């Protein structure tokens, strides 16, 4: 018994067409049944916002943030991607005065890179997390920057790159201070800080001073000289590395001058 396939095509086409029409009808019905009217003010606010959806404001996206702004749950200055001009326009739209806060940028709490010895030549997936999972960091300092660019890939603003010294370099003219790079760093050697004034120990090592001297040119050795000379008592040693209390620090720069390892910087 033979089947004429050509004779089966018209019924099949008819069935598929009917299914297509049925599905189209269901979509039209669903679009009307579940339609949610948007707030014109939210739409207008969205038109002014950058639309980066970076999540720095604490909300999943710009639309969700805009809805909470209009609802009065949060102030517009929670958006780190807006510049002063944008805030001015948003203020005019919402009838409020909005001033942009002091710019915040990531800083690298590590001066290792090419200044820190390698334990071995790494051959593998070109990500920091993969390198750690495979065999720990290739750097002799297990706390420092690995330099494989997880932070670079996490930045949607093209505001960070790996420089010739093997460390992340922040391009401030692009940076929005969203903190995506901080979250992406498995070594936690990135932090967000104000553009000017703050003083930081740019080392994350908790190794003993003798070992740090052997492997890194600028690593903190936990000698405590900065702590002894700080007039405000703003420095303490935590697991062999100096830590500055930003609330107590008056940015006098004494610790910078006395540090024998150049491991403290002022932004």
CATH label of the domain that carries residue 261: 3.30.70.20
Three-state DSSP string of 37-87: CCCHHHHHHHHHCCCCCCCCCCCCCHHHHHHHHHHCCCCHHHCCCCCHHHH
Residue 217 lies in a domain: yes
Residue 1 predicted with pLDDT over 70: no
Residue 154 lies in a domain: yes
Residue 32 lies in a domain: no
Between CA 201 and CA 129 the distance in angstroms is: 24
Helix (H) or strand (E) run with residue 236 in it: strand 235-238
Number of compact structural domains in the chain: 3
Q: pLDDT tens, 5-62?
A: 556 566 667 777 778 777 877 777 766 666 556 688 888 988 888 888 888 888 888 8
Residue 164 lies in a domain: yes
The verdict on 201 and 264 lying in the same domain is: yes
Task: Residue 175: name the closest of 228, 90, 104 by CA.
Answer: 104
The verdict on 55 and 81 lying in the same domain is: yes
Mean pLDDT for the chain? 88
What integer pLDDT is reported at residue 157 of this predicted model? 92
The verdict on 201 and 141 lying in the same domain is: no
Q: pLDDT tens, 178-215?
A: 899 999 999 999 999 987 789 999 999 999 999 999 99
> What domain range is 202 assigned to?
197-267
Domain boundary among 139, 170, 188: 188
């Amino acid at each position: 018994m033979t089947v004429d396939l050509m004779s089966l095509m018209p019924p099949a086409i008819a069935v598929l067409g009917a299914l297509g029409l049925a599905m189209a009808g269901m979509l039209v019905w669903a679009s009307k049944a579940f339609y949610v009217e948007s707030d014109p003010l939210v739409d207008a606010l969205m038109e002014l916002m950058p639309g980066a959806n970076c999540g720095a404001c604490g909300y999943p996206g710009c639309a969700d943030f805009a809805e909470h702004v209009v609802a009065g749950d949060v102030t517009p200055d929670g958006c780190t991607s807006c510049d002063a001009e944008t805030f001015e326009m948003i203020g005019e739209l919402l009838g409020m005065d909005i001033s942009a806060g002091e710019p915040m940028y990531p800083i690298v709490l590590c001066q290792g890179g090419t200044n820190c010895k390698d334990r071995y030549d790494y051959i593998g997936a070109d990500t920091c997390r993969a390198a750690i999972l495979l065999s720990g960091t290739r750097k002799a300092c297990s706390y420092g920057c690995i330099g494989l660019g997880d932070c670079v890939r996490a930045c949607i603003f093209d505001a960070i790159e790996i420089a010739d010294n093997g460390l992340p370099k922040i391009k401030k003219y692009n940076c929005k201070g969203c903190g995506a790079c901080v979250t992406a760093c498995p070594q936690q050697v990135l932090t967000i800080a104000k553009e000017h004034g703050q003083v930081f120990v740019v080392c994350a090592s908790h190794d003993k001073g003798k070992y740090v001297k052997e492997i890194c040119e600028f690593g903190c050795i936990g000698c405590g000289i900065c702590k002894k000379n700080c007039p405000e008592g703003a420095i303490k040693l935590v697991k062999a590395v100096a830590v500055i209390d930003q609330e107590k620090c008056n940015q006098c720069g004494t610790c910078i001058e006395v540090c024998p390892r150049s491991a403290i910087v002022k932004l």
